[in-house]
């Protein structure tokens, strides 16, 4: 029931039509008994949008591409980890004071730790964008030995320098070099589901392979990795764990993680997005 007391939450980005955040968060609010609603908002001007959020008294926001960096200049305060990462994906509105956080980092680390340890492992991240930056920060903080693999040398070298990690051009990657491999690029995302960022002969059965793409649930990279005997981690785990932390920042309640995961999996199985 939506009424005058319903708390407003939302996602800002462009595009947003494909996002499963509304499905996940609305079912979480319902399960937790919160009088709240979450909507996806296509936004091209993040500064004006945040002024509107204050005026309309939205209680919190998720932030997706391309605004995770741009929103930072419009916030009143930014969590120390988000500052170090250089990106914000979560905003909390406390009586008009907007605070920024990054839950992508925690979501990825938790998803990995369900399946494997991180400390001392040799880890490769494919990509050099905002997600790579957030996940890379978490991995180095957790004691992993990180290499950035990227097609564009300039971007990859810059991120590696920022994270005090190694850099290697993606086309120079060799098999059996890494314990954990993480794809942070959109390669393989619906509708281009036959694409993969890495040839399957570079995968070995000793590796843990994670893809942050969650639509499709099993990307070409993960299918190839499973066929080679690797342990695989799909993008739903990170997506749900980062969303659960958002929920807790917004509400102060423990997130119904199982409900959130089931909502996403059901949507992926029943909706053509």
What are the φ and ψ backbone dihedral angles of 36, each rounded to 5 degrees? -150, 155
| CA nearest neighbour of 178 among 216, 148, 218, 136 | 148
Catalytic positions, please?
68
Using alpha carbons, list the distances in angstroms from residue 80 to 88, 91, 99, 262.
11, 14, 11, 32
The CA distance from 12 to 39, in Å, is 9
User: Which strands make up the sheet holding 122-126, listed edge to edge?
Assistant: 166-169, 145-150, 122-126, 180-183, 208-211, 231-233
Report residue 112 as tokens: 């990995």
The CA distance from 114 to 125, in Å, is 18
């Amino acid at each position: 029931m939506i009424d005058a007391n319903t708390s407003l939450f939302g996602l800002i980005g462009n595009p947003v039509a494909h996002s499963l955040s509304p499905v996940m968060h609305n079912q979480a609010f319902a399960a937790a008994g919160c009088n709240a609603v979450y909507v996806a908002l296509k936004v091209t001007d993040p500064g004006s949008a945040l002024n509107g959020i204050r005026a309309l008294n939205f209680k919190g926001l998720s932030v997706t591409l391309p605004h995770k960096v741009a929103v930072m200049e419009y916030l009143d305060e930014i969590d120390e980890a988000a500052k170090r990462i250089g990106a914000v994906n979560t905003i909390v509105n406390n009586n008009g004071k907007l605070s920024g956080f990054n839950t992508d980092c925690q979501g990825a680390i938790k998803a990995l730790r369900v399946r494997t340890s991180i400390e001392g492992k040799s880890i490769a991240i494919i990509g050099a964008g905002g997600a790579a930056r957030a996940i890379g920060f978490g991995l180095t903080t957790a004691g992993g030995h990180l290499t950035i693999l990227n097609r564009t040398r300039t971007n990859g070298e810059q991120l590696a320098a920022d994270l005090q990690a190694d850099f290697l051009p993606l086309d120079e990657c060799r098999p059996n070099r890494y314990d954990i491999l993480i794809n942070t690029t959109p390669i393989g995302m619906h509708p281009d589901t036959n694409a993969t960022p890495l040839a399957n002969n570079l995968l070995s059965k000793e590796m843990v392979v994670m893809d942050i793409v969650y639509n499709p649930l099993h990307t070409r990279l993960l299918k190839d990795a499973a066929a080679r005997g690797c342990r695989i981690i799909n993008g739903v785990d990170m997506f749900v764990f980062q969303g659960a932390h958002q929920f807790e920042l917004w509400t102060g309640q423990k997130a119904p993680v199982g409900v959130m995961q089931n909502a996403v999996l059901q949507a992926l199985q029943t909706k053509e997005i």
